[in-house]
Amino acid sequence: MARSTRETERTYAAPDADVSWLSDLAGTGPVASVADQGMQELDAVYYDSDDLRLTGTRASLGRRTGGTDPGWHLKLPLPGDSREEIESPLASKDVPDELRDLTLSRTHGTALRPVVRVRSSRSLHHLLDAEGDVLAELSMDEVSAEALLDDEGRAVWTEMEVELVEDGDPALLDDVEKVLHRHGLDRAQSPSKVVRALTETTSLLKDTPGAHPDVAQGSAGAYVLAYVDRLVGALTDLDPAVRRDAPDSVHRMRTTTRRLRGCLRSYRSVLDREATDPVRRDLKWLANELGVERDHEVLRERLTSGVRELPGELVLGPVEARLKAWDVARRTEARRRTLDALASPRYLSLLEDLKSLTEAPPLRSAKAAGKPGKVLGKALRKEYRRLARRMDPALDMAPGPERDTAIHDARKTAKRLRYAAEAARPALGGPVRRLGKRAKAVQRVSGAQHDSVVTREALRRLAVSAQASGEPGFTWGVLHGQEGAAAGTRERQLPQAWAKARAAARSKALRS
């Protein structure tokens, strides 16, 4: 079973032979002393696809021997100086299946092979607090790299790393860096050993002039593509978290998928729909597959909270036991459906299509080169009018199932308006930010109303099952009544939320 930790470190250029400055680190922040831990010999073979897809997405996979933590190490990017490090034992010389699966959103199923060998002679020091506990490790490495691809380049260099212990205070890195700067030690230009090793031993890693060098800066196309790139990157990063069942990961991946699909729909004037419509269909499929697990998470939390908050005298019969059995049965099936989707050929094909979309975007030249105020503003007005055509009739309907369905349909359109506003906000500023905020409020209120509709149906089924087993249905009925009242409250709030959205859409900046 793989183990996950958070690695937070900074890499610096090689220090001079004189390291007397190490003693200056004592007294830096909480550091009380520096302890020499001697020498270590590390030997790591890094794996990647022939076109270095892992390295290109700031990830790495290596099999390391020597040191204090031999094993397979998969490192995935996190914000700032951190990475998630997922470790697996050295049981096999082949890439462990679990780690291979966690790379799929980056490799798209492409075979992994050894690409570079990196050996390090490490001088290790511990930065200790007053109680002798380790705060961070400082290592000075003499590194040699050997290409394992078709070419046989070699490289040698020295570098220094400062790595926090897990859950260490990132402020310590800033304090240490101030001391290092005083002694002329600057950050290394390369983000990691494997990147430097591949850069210096092969010709496969090259500097690029930018994500989309052919797209005019400040154009409508540039803003849309920046949003698409960010979402595709987020989808790639969330895939391993979903596979490992990290908290809230399914929700975030589903939302990212919906944002991306909405962007491709809203900005069809910028991106050719002949290329993007098939991608949108696959994104819809993926969101639906993820939605089974996510919808169950929401419903489970709503039902569990409802039972927990009831006074004891209103809980009659084995309510918690029935709720637990209901949860286990549906959660297992929902989880299986998520994992099956991520293992499917359709998903891998979608990832390839998204890669093509970002690397060779199907721009409609005239609109993509246009002024963002005109092009993006027109798309936003179109999404707003679509929302108005759904929301106004929905609010005029009498309460009942037809109105519930109409409000739910309007809610989905409000989400599209909100996502379209997110893409346009960097270009159009405050008015679009307000519109997005108002659309989000409409979505939130109508979403709470819809959640109540879904919850009431689940409560009805639970009550029927309970009564069929000879159990009281009273508690389920109480919860059903509470949900009905909550839905009524949300429905009364919706007209006001919609009125604010309408007012935000009348901004002159959106009517130019």
Q: What's the pLDDT at 173?
A: 96
Cα end-to-end span (Å), the chain: 58
Q: How many CB atoms lie within 10 A of CB 60?
A: 24
| 372-410 tens-digit pLDDT | 999 999 999 999 999 999 999 999 999 999 999 999 999
Query: CATH 3.30.530.20: does it fit domain 3-201?
Result: no
| 113-124 tens-digit pLDDT | 999 999 999 999
Q: How many CB atoms lie within 10 A of CB 182?
A: 10
| 299-344 tens-digit pLDDT | 999 999 999 999 999 999 999 999 999 999 999 999 999 999 999 9
Q: Where are the domains of the chain?
A: 3-201, 220-510
Q: Which residues touch 153 (CB under 8 Å, ≥6 apart)?
A: 146, 147, 200, 201, 202
Q: How many CB atoms lie within 10 A of CB 93?
A: 9
- pTM recorded for the entire structure: 0.91
Q: What's the pLDDT at 150?
A: 72
Tokens encoding 510: 């959106």
| 239-275 tens-digit pLDDT | 999 999 999 999 999 999 999 999 999 999 999 999 9
Superfamily (CATH) of domain 220-510: CHAD domain (1.40.20.10)
In the block, tokens 């009364």 appear at: 492
